[in-house]
């Protein structure tokens, strides 16, 4: 078995016809999309992945790329979808910064950081601003011909080498259900998942977003962002910049590249707070009968418009519940693969 096929076998505990790669940068709203599609698309293998470092952690295999796996499955005549999401740059930088605020940037508990002054947190954010949340997977990673974003349909879709590539924008999340229902020909329900404001640090995060003023020299750079100007129409860019012009402050000078690299080396060396996200997904993707039943009930209720208390779909290891809905694989094999996959999600997504 070659490296690519071995990596595929490690990524997916069962082989079926349909595969969705939510292949995005972090902090663009992808976690909600993962849980939404897992609940809505029961006959799909759905994986959430950011880069080759995560791929290596999940599979233990070197020198295999995500694009190689995607193309391998397409060559096997699988239905393969690849989804990326665009999020506006300042908000994405904020979200990424707060995601790592405790384990990286202050190396302290969230409870203690909640007592820090807002000015202290803002100063650190501004020092790091230019290095946070840069890049775009559709443009930088997919290696496909670029086509203009469809501002009328609020998404872009193209088929290249039998692979369906979809680009969404987080600002259009309120119509993702309609967009994705049209694409998959299956009713899609969208749920909100993994909200930073609900974490221990949430109060500080909310205050930060409300009171932060961007240095005017940073906003001038944002105006020229090629990704913003690609995914937002000229009028949308103007509206976005005008909103932030109301919340500006004096020029500032953040870390240089050398200073930033030193900063990273120090926080990684000193880190003692575990970088673990135990509640990352509302739906962890288990395929046993009990989880599938919970998923179907939730899906039917949401699809019908009922108001429901959404509970986490997470496997409870009871022997009588272990029966794969796709293939008669032995219980131990299913759970071994599920635990491996879930441990990667928890640690790295």
Per-residue pLDDT of 259-276, as tens digits, reads 999 999 999 888 877 664
Q: In angstroms, rounded to a whole number, what is the distance separating the alpha carbons of residues 189 and 306?
A: 12
For position 285, what pLDDT does the model report? 67
pLDDT over 70 for what percent of the chain?
78
pLDDT tier, 30 (very low <50, low <70, confident <90, very high otherwise): very high
More confident residue, 347 or 25: 25
For position 201, what pLDDT does the model report? 86
On the question of pLDDT at 68 being above 60, the answer is yes
Question: Residue 297: helix, strand or coil by DSSP?
Answer: helix
Residue (of 14, 30, 13, 40) closest to 301 by Cα position = 40
Q: In angstroms, rounded to a whole number, what is the distance separating the alpha carbons of residues 84 and 233?
A: 18
pLDDT tens profile 205-242: 999 999 999 999 999 999 999 999 999 999 999 999 99
- When pLDDT is averaged across residues 284-305 and rounded to a whole number, the result is 69
pLDDT tier, 42 (very low <50, low <70, confident <90, very high otherwise): confident
**Average pLDDT, rounded, for the chain:** 85
On the question of pLDDT at 323 being above 60, the answer is no
Query: Which distant-in-sequence residues (6+ apart) come within 8 Å of 328 by Cβ?
Result: none
CA angle 328, 333, 334 (to 5 degrees): 70
On the question of pLDDT at 333 being above 50, the answer is no
Place of tokens 């699988």: 78
Write down the number of H helices and E strands in the chain. Answer: 16, 7
Q: In angstroms, rounded to a whole number, what is the distance separating the alpha carbons of residues 45 and 163?
A: 15
Cα dihedral across residues 180, 166, 168, 191: positive or negative: positive
On the question of pLDDT at 116 being above 50, the answer is yes
| DSSP designation for 249 | E
For position 293, what pLDDT does the model report? 73
> Is the distance from CB of 134 to CB of 27 less than 8 angstroms?
no
Q: Extract the tokens encoding 198.
A: 């609900």
On the question of pLDDT at 327 being above 60, the answer is no
Q: Which helix (H) or strand (E) holds 159?
A: strand 156-160
For position 343, what pLDDT does the model report? 43
For position 307, what pLDDT does the model report? 56
Worst-scoring range by mean pLDDT, 76-90, 124-138, 214-228, 297-311? 297-311
Cα dihedral across residues 266, 268, 274, 279: positive or negative: positive
On the question of pLDDT at 191 being above 90, the answer is no
More confident residue, 334 or 75: 75
């Amino acid at each position: 078995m070659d490296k690519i096929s071995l990596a595929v076998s490690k990524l997916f505990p069962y082989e079926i016809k349909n595969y969705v790669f939510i292949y995005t940068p972090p902090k663009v709203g992808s976690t909600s999309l993962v849980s939404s599609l897992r609940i809505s698309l029961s006959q799909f293998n759905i994986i959430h992945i950011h880069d080759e470092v995560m791929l290596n952690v999940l599979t233990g295999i070197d020198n295999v790329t995500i694009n190689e796996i995607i193309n391998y499955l397409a060559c096997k005549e699988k239905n393969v979808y690849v989804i990326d999401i665009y999020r506006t740059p300042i908000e994405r930088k904020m979200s990424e910064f707060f995601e790592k605020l405790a384990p990286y940037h202050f190396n302290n508990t969230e409870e203690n950081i909640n007592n820090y002054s807002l000015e202290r947190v803002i100063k650190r954010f501004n020092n790091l601003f230019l290095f946070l949340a840069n890049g775009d997977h559709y443009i930088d990673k997919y290696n496909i011909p670029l086509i203009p974003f469809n501002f009328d349909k609020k998404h872009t879709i193209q088929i290249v080498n039998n692979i369906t590539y979809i680009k969404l924008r987080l600002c259009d999340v309120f119509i993702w259900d309609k967009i994705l229902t049209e694409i998959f020909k299956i009713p899609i329900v969208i749920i909100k998942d993994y909200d930073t404001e609900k974490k221990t640090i949430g109060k500080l995060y909310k205050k930060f977003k409300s009171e932060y003023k961007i240095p005017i020299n940073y906003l001038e750079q944002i105006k020229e962002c090629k990704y913003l100007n690609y995914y937002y129409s000229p009028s949308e860019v103007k509206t976005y910049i005008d909103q932030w012009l109301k919340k500006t402050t004096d020029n500032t000078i953040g870390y240089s590249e050398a200073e930033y690299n030193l900063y990273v080396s120090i926080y990684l060396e000193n880190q003692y707070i575990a970088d673990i996200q135990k509640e990352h997904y509302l739906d962890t993707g288990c395929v046993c009968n009990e989880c599938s039943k919970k998923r179907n009930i939730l899906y039917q209720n949401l699809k019908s418009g009922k108001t429901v208390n959404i509970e986490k779909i997470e496997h409870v290891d009871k022997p009588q519940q272990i029966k794969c809905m796709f293939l008669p694989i032995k219980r131990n094999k299913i759970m071994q693969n599920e635990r491996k996959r879930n441990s990667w999600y928890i640690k790295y997504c």
